[in-house]
Amino acid sequence: MLRDIDRVVICTDYLFSLPFLLELHDDLTPREKADDTILVTDGTQLHNLHKDIFYIPDPTLAFVGVPAYTATFTFFEFQAIAVAAVFSGRAWLPSKDEMRTEYEKKVKLKGFGRSFHSEKDSEVQYVKGLLEWINGQAELTGGEKYEGHSKEWLKEEKVKMAKLKAFLDASSGLHEPMIL
């Protein structure tokens, strides 16, 4: 059972701004120079999050819904499952050093800015990895095990992506390049 929850904040935005966490903002620091504690710089990404969820310096601060280019509600549900598992003691996080190493690998792979949180073409792998972590620990804690995307969801995702690709291919020649 979860206890002593101070707040649950639900929000959407195009730029990250957390005015209720100003001590974790440094809007004047370039995003490439964010240190190990800054959460927000220019608003294009959140820094120092393990799996785009847990704030590495203090993992009792967690975010659901940071990644972009996902099937929003199902994806966020999987993230919420991870938060609930950790906060209830049915799963645990790696050490801060391990989380930092994983975060730094992601920075090297994706760079900084909006693309940092993109799960375009990688949502299924992200969810699979998240659930492997949670379910692997459920075996030790007796916690509930969770299934990933259903076969039906995966089938529909393929259909949707094929339609999107066909649409983009068909519309790519409709626009003249703009000369500014």
Q: Which domains does the chain have, with CATH numbers?
A: 19-148 (3.50.50.60)
Q: Provide mean pLDDT across the span 134-140.
A: 92
Q: Provide mean pLDDT across the span 52-63.
A: 97
Closest CA to 119 of 166, 155, 163, 67: 67
Q: Provide mean pLDDT across the span 112-130.
A: 92
Of the given ranges (1-15, 19-33, 89-103, 149-163), which has the lowest mean pLDDT? 1-15
Say what the pLDDT of residue 175 is.
Answer: 53
Which residues does residue 68 pair with via DSSP β-bridges, in sequence order? 118
CA–CA distance, 69 with 49 (Å, rounded to integer): 18
* pLDDT above 70: percentage of residues in the chain: 92
Residue 111 in this model has a pLDDT that exceeds 50: yes
Say what the pLDDT of residue 128 is.
Answer: 96
Residue 125 in this model has a pLDDT that exceeds 90: yes
Q: Kindly report the pTM of this predicted structure.
A: 0.83
Say what the pLDDT of residue 161 is.
Answer: 83
Give CA 100 to chain center in angstroms: 15
Give the three-class secondary structure for 140: helix
Average per-residue pLDDT for the chain: 89
Say what the pLDDT of residue 60 is.
Answer: 96
How do residues 26-40 score in pLDDT, each as one tens digit? 999 999 999 999 999
